[in-house]
Amino acid sequence: MTDVPARIVPFEPQTGARREAALDDLRRRLRATRWPDAPADAGWSLGTDVDYLRELVAYWTDEFDWPAQEAALWRHPRLRVEVECLGIHVVHARGAGPSPLPIVLSHGWPDSSWRYQKVVGLLTDPASHGGDPADAFEVVVPDLPGFGWSDPPAGPPLDSIAVAGLWAQLMTALGYDRFVAAGGDLGSHVSRYLALDHPDRVAAVHRTDAGLPVFGGDAALLTDEERAWFAEVAAWGAAEGAYGAIHRTKPQTAAFGLTDSPVGLAAWIVEKLRSWSDCGGDVERAFSKDEILTNVTQYWLAGTIGSSMRMYSANAAIAPEQLARRVEVPSGFSIFGGDVVRPPRAWGERTANVVRWTEPPKGGHFAPFEEPEVYAQELRDFFRPFRAPR
């Protein structure tokens, strides 16, 4: 860490002729796609369904309105905060209640602050949505380095520990000495290390998963539920984990094709949106075409698919003793019923000071986007006891 103070500047999205040139290039590439063949009736069984992707790309080419979707994203205030020589794009929305609680929300892959766009208003102004104004939050949603509109590290990729350190500096720059944290996927990992390394500043931490299990102790000490979960995770990894192996080991090789082909990029992302959401096999039960393409187009225009994948490589090098640390900061878990590799409570309590554990029946890996009202209420209910007395 350096002694250079963080600097806050306005965030300026791409506009005018430069944006139009980028969109024209995107449409040209979409129209020039060289499509792969597929076995008859393969559907999604071998990866992304060619017929569905052709339909999505036709919409992307001729009907998708990026400026309109971008304007909807920009309805929440945005900043660029320069921390450790990295420009971090941040959604920073002020709370409308009597004493809003500062919260930093951390996303995962394959997304960005996009994951939380539906809950920002619910959290900042609960009274306008039928809630109690005393439950208001001051919402901070950064894009992880190398994701969304945040700068990628110029040197080696940053792991979750380093990003947690950046977030601590970011919250200081925004004027928050004490705050709470929440996240899922990679963001769960970052939130965990915020609680581990900055317990004097993080009042409580909420997560929608417990990460992938790492256990170096005597297996006989595990409960039957935990052992069954370990087996489930191993089976899931064998069937679904190829993407992670690539990200951890050879992300740069995949980055060439995904950075050059918008259809390749869409295939890589859409297959995960479908597989990890609670959509019953129909991705558009969880996300509209516009919502899918807003996420994918942001990756395309920012050119961040390669840098986003490299974070997996950095996390794979985290020392086992770091992974084994127990979170003593009060922790809450909302394990949504449609998520992948759902941990048992016994594992949560083994790894964290669990003060609240819930299992909402609906919603998947992208719960803040899939079930925003439920997710917002989960945060309100969990963090209520940790608000400063009035």
Retrieve residue 34's tokens. 């060289």
Catalytic residue among 92, 107, 247, 365: 365
For residues 184 and 16, give the distance between their C-alpha atoms in angstroms, rounded to a whole number.
Answer: 35
Which whole-number Å values give the CA distances from 334 to 209, 274, 349, 364, in the listed order?
A: 7, 21, 13, 11
Retrieve residue 60's tokens. 């992307």
Q: Any idea which residue has 């925003």 for tokens? A: 372
Q: Cα–Cα–Cα angle for 215, 221, 226, nearest 5°?
A: 65
Do the Cβ atoms of 181 and 202 come closer than 8 Å? yes
Q: For this structure, is 365 an active site residue?
A: yes
Catalytic residue among 176, 193, 299, 312: 312
How many C-beta atoms surround the C-beta of residue 199 within 10 A? 13
What DSSP letter does each residue of 188-242 carry, written as one string?
HHHHHHHHHH-TTTEEEEEES---S----S-GGGS-HHHHHHHHHHHHHHHHHTH
The conformation of residue 168, written as its DSSP 8-state character, comes to H
Which whole-number Å values give the CA distances from 228 to 39, 238, 342, 343, in the listed order?
A: 35, 16, 11, 10
Q: For this structure, is 92 an active site residue?
A: no
Phi and psi, residue 367, nearest 5°: -50, -40
Catalytic residue among 185, 209, 278, 339: 185
Do the Cβ atoms of 337 and 360 come closer than 8 Å? yes
Q: For this structure, is 312 an active site residue?
A: yes
For residues 102 and 379, give the distance between their C-alpha atoms in angstroms, rounded to a whole number.
Answer: 12
For residues 179 and 171, give the distance between their C-alpha atoms in angstroms, rounded to a whole number.
Answer: 8
- β-strand partners of 333: 207, 357
- Per DSSP, the three-state class of 376 is helix
Alpha-helix runs per DSSP H in the chain: 16-31, 50-62, 66-73, 120-124, 160-173, 186-197, 224-240, 242-249, 251-260, 262-276, 289-302, 305-316, 320-323, 345-351, 367-370, 372-383
Q: Which residue numbers are catalytic?
A: 185, 312, 365
